[in-house]
Amino acid sequence: MHASAPLRILYLATADARGHLMRAQLLAQALRAKGAAVDVLTTSEAGRTFLAGFGIDALVLSPHYAMQFDSCQNMRRRDSAANVLRYMLHPGRMLRDVWRLRAAFARSDLVVNDSFHPALLLMGYLPGWRHKVVHVYGGSLRRALEGTFDGSLPRWAAALFRAAVSVQIDASHARLEHDFAYAEPQLHPGRNYRLPTPVAIAPAQPAGLPCEAAVYLNPHFRDADLALALEQGLAPLASLLHLVGEGYAGRPGWQARDAAWVDRAAQSRLIVSAPGMAALSVALVYRRPILLIVTEQPEQQANAARVAELGLAHRVVVWRGDAASFRLAVQTAAQALLAGAPAAKPALAAPPADGLAATGSAGAALLAEGIAAAEARVQAWVLTLMRLAQGRRLAQASASGQLRPTA
């Protein structure tokens, strides 16, 4: 590949929830703005549709690899483990995907695995391909992955799986571990990066109607009783609720997708979501209180346990199938969080003369700080990925003799 050609990056984002896809579209657009050519792959038609809402034309590698959840986002651990094994061992699944990925590898300078797709875990370990693979993951997700078979296989077998996964991850060209709480980018020996989870950059001026509470539930939430109890718990805010969830498409008051959800959340008084890295990052960067809906999801349980350490205004509610208790817990938690949040104000048709946002000088200052922090997070990722891609291209050119010393 000619040295002056645009850097080519292949980005594979698993569609288990939507955090990986949000990150993929955000970074793909930012990398393209810097001149890189970015191809995006995902793992389901629903994921492809989600990405299309952001203007990303992605291809589906195959739909066979996926974690398994019930309608309340409780992870079905045994079913998930069994599905991972089927995917890895069935000759028409992982090996077929590896075969399909070969051509994409050949034309790419860098291949991003977000997060831990088994085909790229394997290719990131094998000598012929690992020099291009970069794994992107949350630290809590890595721990959850390594413990996939804890309790479902004999202890020695689970330990063997843990060790094998760890070796595969560490054999890749680089590893980008992200966390909502990381303040600054860090580089550790062996191309191990720690980066703050990237966050969409909200507009300085609000668009649309004001929003007291911005609710986002990923598509694993499908239980009607949970949705009703949540709506009833937030009933005092009913006229100013912004409810988004693919699992509740067609339910009155809800919309399946909203590409501008972060824009609404950044200027709301309250965020309501499960404790994924993306939602927690939005709350932290834009300093919004967050009501966390916790279910049996190991990665998110670990995230929720760390929120208190950061001083982020939050409350935790747990769905256990008891609608009345959940409704009361949501109502109590929302009231407590809103008591300390500034009131929502109507959107302005034009910026005020003093340049302040609709929430007043304090709110405008907080929003401006959030926008700056979000921009810094995105640019840290872009710089890191562009440098890694450029480094791989130069190394490949040198190995092939295309780089010659000048006289």
In the prediction, which pLDDT does 204 show?
87
In the prediction, which pLDDT does 225 show?
96
Cα angle 142-163-300, degrees, rounded to a multiple of 5: 20
Amino acid sitting at position 112: V
Say if CB 222 and CB 248 are below 8 A apart. Answer: yes
Residue 350 has pLDDT above 70, yes or no: no
Alpha-carbon gap, residue 349 to 330, rounded angstroms:
33
Question: What share of the chain in percent tops pLDDT 70?
Answer: 91
Alpha-carbon gap, residue 169 to 123, rounded angstroms:
10
Tell me the pLDDT tens digit for each residue of 156-197: 999 998 999 899 999 999 999 999 999 899 999 999 999 999
Task: Note the pTM of the prediction, 2 decimals.
Answer: 0.89
Residue in this structure with the two tokens 């100013």, named with its chain if needed: 240
366 or 355, which is more confident: 366
Q: Which CATH architecture has domain 213-347?
A: 3-Layer(aba) Sandwich (3.40)
Domains 8-200+375-399 and 213-347 share a fold: yes
Q: What is the mean pLDDT of residues 66-76?
A: 78
In the prediction, which pLDDT does 347 show?
34
Domain ranges of the chain: 8-200+375-399, 213-347
Alpha-carbon gap, residue 138 to 175, rounded angstroms:
10
Alpha-carbon gap, residue 105 to 107, rounded angstroms:
6
Say if CB 215 and CB 242 are below 8 A apart. Answer: yes
Say if CB 269 and CB 338 are below 8 A apart. Answer: yes
Q: 355-359, long-range: CB within 8 Å, 24+ apart, which pairs?
A: 357/204, 357/205, 357/206, 357/267, 358/205, 358/206, 358/210, 358/267, 359/267
Alpha-carbon gap, residue 382 to 271, rounded angstroms:
27
Cis peptide bond upstream of 115, omega within 30: yes
* Helix count and strand count (H, E) for the chain: 13, 14
396 or 373, which is more confident: 373
In the prediction, which pLDDT does 376 show?
97
Pairing, β 186-188 against β 192-196: antiparallel
314 or 70, which is more confident: 314
Amino acid sitting at position 335: Q
Least confident of 6-10, 71-75, 154-158, 351-355: 351-355
Q: What is the mean pLDDT of residues 132-143?
A: 91
Q: Where are the beta strands (DSSP E) in 257-378?
A: 270-273, 290-294, 314-318
Alpha-carbon gap, residue 145 to 164, rounded angstroms:
11
In the prediction, which pLDDT does 354 show?
33
Pairing, β 192-196 against β 174-179: parallel
Domain 8-200+375-399, what fold? Rossmann fold (3.40.50)
* Average pLDDT score, the chain: 88
Please tell me whether residue 172 adopts helix, strand or coil conformation.
coil
Residue in this structure with the two tokens 């050519």, named with its chain if needed: 37
Tell me the pLDDT tens digit for each residue of 200-228: 999 988 666 678 999 999 999 999 999 99
In the prediction, which pLDDT does 151 show?
80
Alpha-carbon gap, residue 113 to 41, rounded angstroms:
10
